[in-house]
Amino acid sequence: MMKRNFALLAMILASVAFAADVVKMADILKDADKYDKKVVKTTGKLKDFKARTSKAGNDYMTFDLVDGSSVLKGYAHGKMELKDGDKVEIEGKFVKEKVMFKGKPNEFTVKNEVDCSGKKDESPKIKLLK
- DSSP for 94-125 reads EEEEEEESTTSTT-EEEEEEEE---STTPPPS
Q: Cβ(35)–Cβ(73) under 8 Å? A: no
**Which domains are delineated in the chain?**
21-128 (2.40.50.140)
Closest CA to 87 of 50, 49, 118, 30: 49
Distance (Å, whole) CA 100 – CA 103: 9
Distance (Å, whole) CA 5 – CA 11: 10
Q: What is the mean pLDDT of residues 98-124?
A: 89
The reported pTM is 0.80
Instruction: Please classify residue 118 by burial: count the beta carbons closer than 10 Å to its beta carbon, then call 0-12 exposed, 13-18 middle and 19+ buried.
Output: middle
Provide the pLDDT for residue 21. 87
Closest CA to 44 of 95, 93, 89, 83: 89
Query: pLDDT of 71-97, one tens digit each?
Result: 999 999 999 999 999 999 999 999 999
